[in-house]
Structure 1
Amino acid sequence: MPTPINEQLKTLPAKPGVYLFKDNQGKVIYVGKAASLRHRLRAYFSPSTNLSPKLQRLVARIADFESIVTDSEQEALILECNLIKKFRPSYNVRLKDDKTFPYLKIDLKNDWPSVRITRRFHKNGDRYFGPYASAGSLRQTLRLIKKIFPFRSCTRNITGKEIKPCLEYHIHRCLGPCTGAVSKEEYHEVIRQVILFLEGKQEVVLRDLRQKMKQASEHLQFEKAALLRDQIRAIEKVIEGQKIAVTVRGDQDAIALAQTKDLAYVEIFFIRSNKLIGRDYILLDGIHDETPQQIMTSFVKQYYTTASSIPPLLLLQHPVDEPAVITRWLTSQRGAPVKLHVPRQGAKKQLIDIVAENAHQGLALYQAKQSTIIQSALALEELKERLALPSVPLRIEAYDISNIRGNLATGSMAVLDKGTPKPSHYRRFKIKTVAGIDDYAMIQEVLRRRFHRHLADEEKWAPVPDLILIDGGKGHLNAALEIMKELGLDSIPTASIAKEKEEVFLPGRPEPLDIPPTSAALHLLQRIRDEAHRFALGYHQRLRHKEGITSALDIIPGIGPKRKKALLKRFGSVPAIREASLEELAATEGMTMKLAEKVKEYL
C-alpha cells in the first residue's frame, strides 16, 4: 500500500459517506458508499481481506482517493449515484451510454397544458412520466395518446382570439383553445383523462367517456357522441393489448436481467391498476466479475434516482445488497412506503419469469444488431479499399430506372446510412423530359433533378453522398458522370453495378473491378442496388395500375371524373365494377340505368 494512502486511512471518520478512488492520472476509476468510511476503505487495503478478482485489479490501480462525509447512508446513496453519473468510472456498474433520459411532461402550471417530451426533470408542480430508455418509445407513447385525446400540440400563446383554428381542430385532434372553442374546465378535463390514462387508470377514463356519450346522445348531439364512441373504442383496444398471461394485482414494477461477460440487459414491466401499461429496457456495462445481485443493486439505485414515479412494490429477480437502506431511500423518494420483494412462487414468480425471458430475448436481439452493425462497418471499410474511395462511404445513394418500352418511366433513389437502409430518405421520380426508350437520358434527368435541389439548398436534399451507385453498366456510369460534371459535383465518387454478371465499374477504368462473389463489399452494393430497383419498380407498377383504371373508365361515354370517382369509391376497382349488376351501378351517385348499361357494354 502506498504510504500517502496509509496516512490518509488513519484520518477517516467512522461515519457514513462516499469515496472516490483515482488512478495515477487523477482519473476517478471507482465511486462507492459506506456506512463507515473508516471500516470500508481499510478493508480494501487489508491483507486479510478476501477481495474478488475485479477488486484486486481495482486496488492495484489506486494512487489516491477522496472521501465525502454525509449525514446518513441515504444521503451517501444519493451522492454515490450522482457521482457515478458524473464521472462514469470504469470499475462501477453503470447505465450504458448514460445520458439524461427523456420524460413525458404535462405542464400543469400552464392555463392550457400541453404534453411534451423533455430531458429535464424538475419537481416544480408539473407532471412527469418516465424515464424512458429511448426517445423512440416515448414518441410512440405520445402519438398514441394524441390519437385518443384532443389536447393541443402547438407552442403558441393561447388567447382564445385566433380567427381560424389549425388543421388539428378540424380532424378532431385538438379542442381549439386558440379560438375560444373550449372552456378551461373542458380542456383541463381532457388533461385529467390523459394523466389517468398514463397512470394505467383507463377504466376511470372509460366510465367518464361513456357517461358523456350517453348525455350527448340524450341531447341529440350525435356528432359529439360519435367522437366519444371512437375515443372509447381506441382506449378499449389499448386495454386489450395490456393484458398479460398472469394475474397480478395493484401497482408494481417487475425487474429481471440477462447478462454476458461485459453487458447486462435489464427488462422492466410497469404494472399499474392490474395492467401492463408499458415495458422498457436499460443496458448496463462495467459488470465484469459482478454477481446478478450486485448488478440488480446498481440498477435499482441508478434508475430510481431519476424515476418520475415509484410504485409501492418492486418485484425483483435477484435480491439487492443493503435492502433496508435502499428501501428507506425509495420510501423517501416516493413519499410513501415501498417494498422490495423477490418472489419464489405463485403469480408474481410467473411474472418475473416472463420478464426474465423477455430480458434474455432482448439481449440476444441486441447482440444480433450489434453484430450486424460490426459486419456493416467491416463491409464499408472493404468497400472503401476496393473502390479506392477517399473516405468510408457512410452514405450511399443508389439510382435505378423502371419502364416498359419507355412508357410510364420512373426513377428511384435508395439510401444506405452506415450500412443500413434509410427509407425516410428514399425518393421517387416520374420521368418528365424523356420520350421513348433512353435509360441514359432518364438517369441523367433523375440525377439533374436530385442535385439541382441540393444546390438550391433544399433541406430534404441537403445530404451529400459519399458514393453514388448507378444500376447499370459502363454506359450508364458515363451518362451519370456527364451530369455530375455539368453540375460541378464530379468530386463525388460514382460507380455502377451491372445486373447480369454483377460487375462493378469505376470512372476511367475500361474493365470492371475484380471483386470476389463472396465479398461483403459486393453484397452491400447488391443490397442497395436491389433496394433502388424495388423502389422504382413499385412506383412504376402504381402508375401502371392508375393508368389502367383511367383508360378503362375514361373511354366510356358519359362517365366523367365525378362519376368515375363515385364508381371507384363504391366498388373499389374496375373488376368489381365489371361484376356489379345494372341495378347496383344505376344506384351509384350520379348514375342512371342508361349509363349503367353503357358501363356494362364497354367493360
Structure 2
Amino acid sequence: MFDLKEQLRILPERPGVYIMKNIDQEVIYVGKAISLKNRVRQYFQSSKNHASKVRAMVSNINNFEYIVTDSELEALILECNLIKKYRPKYNVLLRDDKTYPYIKVTLNEEYPRVIKVRKIAKDKGKYFGPYTNIGALNQTIEIIHQLYPIRNCKKNIAKMIERKERPCLNYHIKKCIGPCRGEESKAEYLQMIQEIIILLSGKESGLIKMLNIKMKEAAVDMDFEQAATYRDQLIALESTFEKQKVVSTNPRLDQDIIAMASGAEFNCGVVLLIREGKLIHREPFTLTSNEGESRDDLLTAFMKQYYNEMDYIPKEILMEESLQEEEILQEWLSSKRGSKVQIKVPLRGDKKELLEMAKKNAATTLLQLQSFRKTKAEIKDQREELIELQDLLGIDEFPNRIESYDISNISGLQSVGSMIVFEGGKAKYSDYRRFKIKTITGPNDYGSLEEILQRRFSRGLLETEQLLTGEISMTEGKFLVFPDLIMVDGGFGQVTSVKKVLEAMNIDIPVCGMIKDDKHKTRGLAYEGREIILEKTSPLFRLIYKIQEEVHRFAITYHKTLRKKNMLHSELEDISGVGEARRKALMKHFGDITKIKNASLEDLMQVEGMNKKVANSVFEYFVNQKEVQRKEEKIEETPSNDEGGRIND
C-alpha cells in the first residue's frame, strides 16, 4: 500500500528525477529537481495556485518513484532519457523521433556503406540526423554516391574475394570501385569514407580545401586521370553547396537558431542549422502539450528532447527568449559537445535578423500544419459520409469509388453522355470521361444511357484482358478500374436501364438514382425499388448534391462545346471550292459575312487565293440565297383563307 504522507516525508533533499504513475501503474509524468523533497511536495499542497494541467495530473497520481542523482546535470540527462522511454501523457512531447530517419555510415563494417536507417543501434556506426525532411536525406545520399564510388550492396566482401566472385554492374558503370575484387587499396576506400563523414558533418569547405590539395598533388605527380577525378568532385561539391544561402559573416561559427509559433491546438517551430556561415538545413518540429503550458516550459522541453538525440551540438544557439533552466542546459550541451556552448537571445544586428528569419519559418510551419490537419479532418468527414451511404443502401462494398452518369441534349440533337468519378468523397478529374451518342436518335435518355454504359464496361473488360496478357499496363487503361457504386442522374427508369446493361454483361455493381424535386433540386435516392429521402442538412446530402450537380455540369459543358463548335461552322464551307483556308481569307478581306454576301464578283476576285471559278460559286450561292429569301417574304405577305392569317403547312 502506497503511503503518500510517509513517502513525502522521507523524500531526500537531493537532486534527482521523480516519476508519477496512475492507478494502472502507467508513467504519466517525469520531472527533475534540484531538491526532490521541495519539488515533489509542491504538487500535493494547495491546488488553487496550480495550472489546470498540474491539477489534472495530480488528480490521476496513484503513486510516485524517484531516482537520486549526484547533480542537477545528471538529473537532466536522466529526465531526457526517461521521457523518451515512457513518453508520459502530461509531459510536453516532441513528435516521436522514431519516425525520423538517419544517415548511417556503417563503420562497423570492413568496407563501410552510407545508408538510411530508422533506429540508432549500439554499434560502431556513425549516425547523422534525425532528418525530418526525407527528401533532403535521400538527396544527400544521392549526392554522396555521385561524388564517391563506394559500395551500396550488403554482400560479405571477404567471402566474395575468397570465392573470386565477379563484381556487380555498379563496378562496370564506375559507381563503385569494387572492393570485392580484392585489388583496391582499403586505405583509399576508408579515405573516401572519412571525406564523406566530413561532408555530413557540414564541413564542406574543409573537404573542398582537401580535394584542392589532392588535385594539385596528383597533377604534380603527372597522375592526370586522378587529378581529373578530384576536379570533377570539386565541381560537383561547389555546384551543390553554392545553392546554400550565406547568412552569417562568421564562417567559423556553427549555430542553431530556434523559434516557435503557438496556435490554439498545437505549437510548431523550426531549427535553422547554420554551418560555416551557411544555412544548410531547416528542421521543423511539433510539440504536443497540455492546456496552460508556458512558452518557457515548451521551449525547455523541446531543447532537452531535441538535443538529447543530436550527435553534433553547435557552439552557439540563438533563441527568442531566455529560459529559467538556461544555465543547466548550457552545462549539459557543453558536456555533450566537449567544449563551451552558449545560448543567446540576440537583440540587434545579424543574429537578430537570423532569429527573425526563424520566426517567419515557424509561423509558416504552423500555418502549413493547420492546413494539413484541416485537410485530414475533411478526409475523415468524407469517409464518414461514405460509411453513412453504405449503411443507408445496405451494400457490402465500401463505396470508395463512385461513378455517376448523365445525358444531355436539346430535342435529341447533339446528344452526349458524361461519366464523372468520385474517390474517397472527392472528385477525381483525371478519370472523367465523355461520350458522343452514336446509336440513338432523338430524345431517348434511357437508350443513350444504355449505350454509354455498354461502351464503358465493354472497354473495361477488354482492357482487363489486355492487362492480364501483358498488352497494356495499369496506367495505360482508361476504363480498367470498376466502381464500387454507380449513381445515375435520374429515377427508377434510369436505374433500370443501367442494371439491364450490367446484367447482360454479368457485372455486379449496385446502382442508385439521384432524384430531383419539382424545383429540379436534389431530393433523395432511388435504390432497389425504394425512394430514400435525404435530410438537407446532413453531410451525405451535400455529397450527393455535389455529385449530381457535377455530373450534370460536365454533361452540359460538353454539349455546349459541341453546339458552339457546330454553330461556328461557317456556311461558307458549304460552298463548293471553299475550304478552311479560303474561308479565313474571305473573312480577313471583308471583315464579316454580310459584306461577303453583298460583294460583287470583281470584289471576290480580289481575295488572296481566290480563282474565278470559286469566286463565281460564292457569288451565285448568295444570289440564289437572296432569291429564296425574297420568295419566302412574298409568301408571308399573301393573305390566307384561314381566319387569323395562319399559314397552312
Report matched runs for 1:298-313 at 5 Å: 298-313=301-316
Q: Show the counterpart of 1:444.
A: 461
Match status 1:519 vs 2:521:
no
- Aligned-residue offset at 1:165: 3.4
TM-score by length of 2: 0.63
- Aligned-residue offset at 1:225: 6.1
Partners of 1:43 and 1:49 within 8 A in 2: no
CA distance in structure 2 between the aligned counterparts of 1:523 and 1:215, rounded to whole angstroms: 72
Q: Secondary structure at the match of 2:17?
A: strand
AA of the residue aligned to 2:361? N
Q: Show the counterpart of 1:294.
A: 297
AA of the residue aligned to 2:241? I
CA distance in structure 2 between the aligned counterparts of 1:174 and 1:94, rounded to whole angstroms: 43
CA distance in structure 2 between the aligned counterparts of 1:339 and 1:259, rounded to whole angstroms: 25
Partners of 1:477 and 1:496 within 8 A in 2: no
CA distance in structure 2 between the aligned counterparts of 1:481 and 1:280, rounded to whole angstroms: 57
1:285-317 deviation per Cα after TM superposition (whole angstroms, max 9, x unaligned): 024211222111001111111212112222222
AA of the residue aligned to 2:276? S
Report matched runs for 1:443-522 at 5 Å: 443-448=460-465, 468=484, 519-520=542-543
Q: Show the counterpart of 2:381.
A: 378
- Aligned-residue offset at 1:331: 1.9
- Aligned-residue offset at 1:365: 0.5
Q: Secondary structure at the match of 1:320?
A: coil
CA distance in structure 1 between the aligned counterparts of 2:57 and 2:499, rounded to whole angstroms: 58
Q: Show the counterpart of 2:345.
A: 342
Moved more, 7-16 or 220-229: 220-229
1:258-310 deviation per Cα after TM superposition (whole angstroms, max 9, x unaligned): 11234221311111122222221121102421122211100111111121211
Q: 2:180 aligns with which of 178, 184, 187?
A: 178
Structure 1, unmatched stretches of 5+, are 401-413, 427-436, 459-464, 531-603
Partners of 1:165 and 1:176 within 8 A in 2: yes
Q: Show the counterpart of 1:66.
A: 65
CA distance in structure 1 between the aligned counterparts of 2:218 and 2:531, rounded to whole angstroms: 76
CA distance in structure 2 between the aligned counterparts of 1:130 and 1:524, rounded to whole angstroms: 47
AA of the residue aligned to 2:301? S
- Aligned-residue offset at 1:97: 4.1
CA distance in structure 2 between the aligned counterparts of 1:181 and 1:287, rounded to whole angstroms: 61
Report matched runs for 1:155-554 at 5 Å: 155-158=154-157, 159-160=160-161, 164-180=166-182, 182-210=184-212, 228-245=230-247, 247-249=249-251, 250-387=253-390, 388=393, 393=398, 396=401, 439-448=456-465, 468=484, 519-520=542-543
AA of the residue aligned to 1:193? E
CA distance in structure 1 between the aligned counterparts of 2:402 and 2:181, rounded to whole angstroms: 46
- Aligned-residue offset at 1:374: 1.0
CA distance in structure 2 between the aligned counterparts of 1:313 and 1:391, rounded to whole angstroms: 61
Q: Show the counterpart of 2:597.
A: none
Partners of 2:487 and 2:511 within 8 A in 1: no
1:57-81 deviation per Cα after TM superposition (whole angstroms, max 9, x unaligned): 3333333222222222122112212
Q: Show the counterpart of 1:586.
A: none
CA distance in structure 2 between the aligned counterparts of 1:237 and 1:515, rounded to whole angstroms: 62
Q: Show the counterpart of 1:583.
A: none
CA distance in structure 2 between the aligned counterparts of 1:163 and 1:48, rounded to whole angstroms: 74
Q: 1:206 to 1:381 in 2, by over 3 A?
A: same
Partners of 2:383 and 2:424 within 8 A in 1: no
Q: Secondary structure at the match of 2:245?
A: coil
CA distance in structure 2 between the aligned counterparts of 1:229 and 1:505, rounded to whole angstroms: 71
CA distance in structure 1 between the aligned counterparts of 2:225 and 2:327, rounded to whole angstroms: 57
Q: Give the percent of matched residue pairs that are identical in Structure 1 and Structure 2.
A: 35
Q: 1:332 to 1:392 in 2, by over 3 A?
A: farther
How many residue pairs match? The answer is 492
CA distance in structure 2 between the aligned counterparts of 1:471 and 1:141, rounded to whole angstroms: 49
Partners of 2:2 and 2:63 within 8 A in 1: no
Q: 1:445 to 1:234 in 2, by over 3 A?
A: farther
Q: Show the counterpart of 1:8.
A: 7
AA of the residue aligned to 2:335? S
1:546-603 deviation per Cα after TM superposition (whole angstroms, max 9, x unaligned): xxxxxxxxxxxxxxxxxxxxxxxxxxxxxxxxxxxxxxxxxxxxxxxxxxxxxxxxxx
Q: 1:348 to 1:394 in 2, by over 3 A?
A: farther
TM-score by length of 1: 0.68
Q: 1:224 to 1:305 in 2, by over 3 A?
A: same
- Aligned-residue offset at 1:228: 4.8
Partners of 2:386 and 2:400 within 8 A in 1: no
Q: Show the counterpart of 1:142.
A: 141
Q: Secondary structure at the match of 1:113?
A: coil
CA distance in structure 2 between the aligned counterparts of 1:367 and 1:93, rounded to whole angstroms: 19
CA distance in structure 1 between the aligned counterparts of 2:166 and 2:92, rounded to whole angstroms: 55
1:508-532 deviation per Cα after TM superposition (whole angstroms, max 9, x unaligned): 789999999983477699999x9xx
CA distance in structure 2 between the aligned counterparts of 1:157 and 1:200, rounded to whole angstroms: 31
Q: Show the counterpart of 2:645.
A: none
CA distance in structure 1 between the aligned counterparts of 2:399 and 2:77, rounded to whole angstroms: 42
Match status 1:111 vs 2:134:
no
Q: Show the counterpart of 2:151.
A: 152
Moved more, 281-290 or 92-101: 92-101
Moved more, 391-400 or 26-35: 391-400
Q: 1:479 to 1:175 in 2, by over 3 A?
A: farther
CA distance in structure 1 between the aligned counterparts of 2:137 and 2:377, rounded to whole angstroms: 27
Q: Show the counterpart of 1:21.
A: 20
1:426-447 deviation per Cα after TM superposition (whole angstroms, max 9, x unaligned): 9xxxxxxxxxx95443211233
Q: 1:194 to 1:143 in 2, by over 3 A?
A: same
Q: Show the counterpart of 1:47.
A: 46
Partners of 2:248 and 2:277 within 8 A in 1: no
Partners of 1:31 and 1:84 within 8 A in 2: yes
1:201-258 deviation per Cα after TM superposition (whole angstroms, max 9, x unaligned): 2223333444555677788877766655543333222212211455454112111111
- Aligned-residue offset at 1:191: 1.6
Which of these two proteins has the greater Rg computed from alpha carbons?
Answer: 2
Q: 1:208 to 1:390 in 2, by over 3 A?
A: farther
Q: Show the counterpart of 2:478.
A: none
1:408-442 deviation per Cα after TM superposition (whole angstroms, max 9, x unaligned): xxxxxx99689799x9xx9xxxxxxxxxx954432
Q: Secondary structure at the match of 1:305?
A: helix
